[in-house]
Amino acid sequence: MKQNEIVNDIVYKASMGRLLVMYTQIDYLIMRAVAERIADAPDDESRLFMAKQVGDESRHVRIQQSWIKKFGTDTTPVFGELQQEMFLQHFRSLSWLDFLTDMYVCVEALGSEAVEQVVPMADPGTRQSLKTPLQDEIDHVAFGLGKLRDELSKLPEKKCSAYLESIPARLDFLDDTLHGLGIDVPAMFNAVGADYQEVVQTVLQRRQQILDELAQPLAA
Ligand SMILES: [Fe+2]
Ligand SMILES: [Fe+2]
């Protein structure tokens, strides 16, 4: 291996390690936030699904933790205690409708979209470790978007349009919060060979696609 290849390899591993730790912590926080929310979910279908999701996220955490161990990189948490508490507090404070938006559109749908962008650049072991988690996320997103659509259909048309228009601002707020935590996400993505600007573009396209889909029953 040439000198610069060795350096690139070290930088790749360290950054991928950080991304994996971050992803695992988010799964863990999703597990806890969803578990807390089961108690006041509005219907049995939601309670049953969310209980399954809690099991899925727990499995994702296990898979990722054991992969990170084998990968051999730094396991120091990316999010500190206070940041984790802020995350849980945020989700506790939300109405059911806002919970669906923040959890399933922002964290689940757009978060896994960002992770998907990293998969092609990842080493085979990392790619394998992401397979089951990313497969399950499709289910979680389908549930969340379905429930969100149900809730929106209960609103008067004007309120519903106003809510849809407010979604990008909710997502921007969460995104700004992540950046505000001083976590240099662009640097982590770039270091593993993903063009961060492209990742952002893809995530924004997915966001628009979700918003268009949510708006559709209105037009029908
Ligand atoms: Fe997950
Ligand atoms: Fe999930």
| Residues with a beta carbon under 5 angstroms from ion ligand 2 | 137, 140
pLDDT tens by residue, 119-169: 888 999 999 999 999 999 999 999 999 999 999 999 999 999 999 999 988
How close is the Cα of 201 to the center of ligand 2, in Å?
22
Counting the structural domains of the chain, the total is 1
Q: What is the pLDDT of residue 7?
A: 77
Structure confidence at residue 64 (pLDDT): 96
CA of 137 to the centre of ligand 2 (A): 4
Element (H, E) at 46: helix 44-71
Q: What is the pTM of this model?
A: 0.92
For the chain, give the mean pLDDT: 91
pLDDT in tens, 162-173: 999 999 888 887
Give pLDDT tens digits for 186-216: 888 888 888 888 988 998 999 999 999 998 8
- State whether the Cα torsion 138-144-145-146 is positive or negative: positive
Domain that holds residue 162: 3-219
Query: Percent of the chain at pLDDT above 70?
Result: 97
Biggest CA–CA distance in the chain, Å, is: 64
Integer Cα distance of 124 and 131 in angstroms: 11
Instruction: Measure 4 CA to ligand 2 centroid, in angstroms.
Output: 37
CATH number of the domain bearing residue 199: 1.20.1260.10
| CB of 122 closer than 8 Å to CB of 189 | no
Residue 102, φ and ψ in degrees, nearest 5: -70, -40
CA distance 57 to 49: 12
**pLDDT interval class at 219 (50, 70, 90):** low
